[in-house]
Amino acid sequence: MPVKRPVSDHFDGEHFFNPGASQARGLGAVLRWQLKRQRARWPARLANPVFPPPGNAVAPGQVSLTFIGHSTFLIRLPAPGGVFSILTDPIFSERCFPVQWMGPRRVRPPGLALEALPPIDAVLVSHNHYDHMDLPSLRALHQRFRPLLLTTLGNAGPLRAAGVPGAVELDWWDATPAGPVQVTATPARHFAARGARDRNRTLWAGFMLGTSEGRLLFAGDSGAGPHWGAIRDRLGPPGVALLPIGAYLPREIMQAVHMDPAEAVQARADLGARQAIGMHFGTFQLTDEAMAAPLDALRQASSHAGLPSEAFDVLGFGETRTLSL
């Protein structure tokens, strides 16, 4: 069902859209690409390195990040009496597809198993694509932890029907408290669909996490654009930005909705982020680039921009790192 919402600069009364930008390519263009695509060869399966589990304490002004894979992070922030734990776009399933016997399959297991998670207080779901809104994972999290679930307009109904009730929907710039965090939905350049007939009936977004000590941006999925500067101007620069760097080839199909690493480096600059961490790479083969290409291109783009390596880095699968907000 269409979202009942006033017309806005990104909603025409029936569909959401990217204001002032090229929209995602239509189904016909995508099907033609799928029929003639020449994708790089990825390994069938890789083991993760062994990292220590995340700790149980986070100091004021710090954030603990554990990279689970794709766009899934465990974010832990200091809170009265302990820590506040957030999961982003959680996917622990073997495949990101409506069924688990076909579709893109993991080349790596989750860096932290669902069974090994600490108590989860909140979950962020940026949009409804299968690699970001994974219903089996969300059902398991709901049954185990009953976390606060924050998502974008139009997703609460389908989540409730799938056994995940209580989701809070946010439009761009809407804000809501989550424990010690103020969560604000931020613009992104992307699209939404889970089937052939629901395209752009729901919204896509990132999320700014604001605390008394600083800010962290989880960007969701996004192409390049002036929205990064708008986020900085309206909410302030984040100390840490989690930015997508993969699934970007071929550019004629992906440019409107996915940044390449050079665009991600520019997004970091536009946001005014002190430090960026890459995501959306090396887990599912969704597009045509080689598995190592996002990391190689990120190093090249960072070097060309004169950035030290720590200014835009990636975490190992399962690695936990503590950063300053």
- For the stretch 221-240, pLDDT in tens is 999 999 999 999 999 999 99
Q: Sorting pLDDT into bands at 50, 70 and 90, what band is 32?
A: confident
Residue 267 pLDDT exceeds 70: yes
* C-beta neighbour count of 112 within 10 angstroms: 26
Q: How many CA atoms lie within 13 A of 11 on its CB side?
A: 20
Residue carrying structure tokens 């989860």: 120
Q: Based on DSSP, count helices (H) and strands (E) in the chain, helices before strands.
A: 7, 14
Mean pLDDT of 75-100: 95
Q: Which DSSP string do the residues of 181-245 spell out, in sequence order?
A: EEEEEE-------SSSS-TTSS---EEEEEETTEEEEE--S---STHHHHHHHHH---SEEEEE-
Q: How far apart are CA 193 and CA 175, in angstroms?
A: 24
Q: How confident is the model at residue 25, as a pLDDT? A: 64
Please tell me what DSSP assigns to residue 309: G
**CA–CA separation, 250 vs 253, rounded Å?**
6
Segment among 3-7, 48-52, 321-325 with least mean pLDDT? 3-7
Q: Is the pLDDT of residue 30 over 70?
A: no
Domains along the sequence of the chain with CATH: 49-324 (3.60.15.10)
Distances, alpha carbon 81 to alpha carbons 16, 47, 64, 180, in Å? 41, 36, 16, 11
pLDDT of residue 184: 98
Distance, CA of 95 to CA of 114 (rounded, Å): 15
pLDDT (tens digit, 9 = 90+) per residue, 106-139? 999 999 999 999 999 999 999 999 999 999 999 9
pLDDT band, residue 220 (cuts 50/70/90): very high
β partners of residue 319: none
pLDDT band of 31, cuts 50, 70, 90:
low
Q: Mean pLDDT over residues 41-64, rounded? A: 95
Average pLDDT over residues 279-300: 97
What region, left, alpha or beta, does residue 246 occupy, with left being phi > 0 and alpha being psi -120 to 50 degrees? Answer: beta
- In this model, does residue 26 exceed pLDDT 90? no
CA–CA separation, 97 and 112 (whole Å): 21
Among 3-7, 179-183, 312-316, whose mean pLDDT is lowest?
3-7
Find the DSSP H helices in 133-188: 135-145, 156-161
Mean pLDDT of the chain: 94
Pairing mode, strands 240-244 and 214-218: parallel
